[in-house]
Amino acid sequence: MDRIDRKIIVELQRDATLSLARLADRVGLSQTPCWKRVQKLEQTGVITRRVALVDPQMVSLGLTAFVAISANDHSPSWREAFARGIAGMAEITEVWRMAGEADYLLKVVTRDMASFDAFYRRLTETLELKSVTSSFAMERVAYTTALPIAIDEP
C-alpha cells in the first residue's frame, strides 16, 4: 500500500466509473500495472464493492433518524436476538456498537414520520430494549462515502 495505491483509492471513491486509461493517467501509471493494482485492492478487501448512490429525496425516503439503543441485558443470547432482529429491517442502514451511554446507534431511513413510527413499533416489539432514543435529521448538509485517505502520510 503505497502512494499510488492511495491515489487509486481516492479516485475510485469519488468516481468508480472512471475508465482504466483515465485512472492510470491520473495516478501516473500505465494501464497494465494500474489494472493489476486495482485487482489487488479488490482481492485483498481494501475495495469492498462498487455501488450506485441514490438521492433519498428522489425515492421518497426523506426521513433519516439516528436511534440510540441500550440493551436490556448484555448476554450473548440478547446479542443474537438483536442480530436476528435487525437483520430483517431494511430501514436500518447502519448499526454501530458504541462506547458510552448507548449500546448501539442505528441509522434509520424511512419515507416519513408515519413510516418511522411503524418501524419504531416493530423495533420495540421485536427486541427487548432498556431504552430507545430517536433523533431526527432535518437536512443532510454533507454526505460522502469517501474515507479521508491521506495520500502523503502512511
Partner DNA sequence: GTTGAAACGCCCTGATG
Partner DNA sequence: CATCAGGGCGTTTCAAC
Compute the half-sphere exposure of residue 66: CA atoms within 13 Å on the CB side of its CA: 10
Residue with cell 436500518: 92
Distance in Å, CB of 30 to its own copies, minimum: 21
Instruction: Tell me: does residue 41 bind DNA (CB under 7 A).
Output: no
Asked if 78 and 129 touch (Cβ cutoff 8 Å), the reply is: no
Tell me the angle at which helices 31-43 and 3-14 cross, rounded to the nearest 10 degrees. Answer: 80
Question: Is 44 among the residues that bind DNA (CB under 7 A)?
Answer: no
Residue 148: other Cβ atoms inside 10 A? 7
Q: Which is nearer to DNA, 50 or 74 (CB)?
A: 50
34 exposed, middle or buried (CB, 10 Å; 0-12, 13-18, 19+)? buried
All cell numbers assigned to 69: 439503543
Task: Report CA Rg, the chain.
Answer: 20
Does 36 participate in binding its own copies (rule CB under 8 A)?
no
Q: Give the one entry of its own copies, DNA, none that residue 21 binds, where binding means its C-beta sits below a cut-off of 5 to 8 angstroms depending on kind.
A: DNA
Identify what 28 binds: DNA, its own copies, none; CB under 5 to 8 Å per kind.
Answer: DNA
Q: Are 26 and 12 in contact (CB under 8 A)?
A: no
Q: Does 121 bind its own copies (CB under 8 A)?
A: no
Give the range of 27-35, 69-77, 88-96, 121-129 binding its own copies by CB under 8 A. 88-96
User: Residues touching DNA: how many (CB under 7 A)?
Assistant: 15
Residues that bind DNA (CB under 7 A): 4, 18-21, 28-35, 37, 39
Residues that bind its own copies (CB under 8 A): 1, 6, 9, 12-17, 44-56, 58-59, 61, 64, 66, 83, 86, 90-102, 104-105, 109-110, 135-149
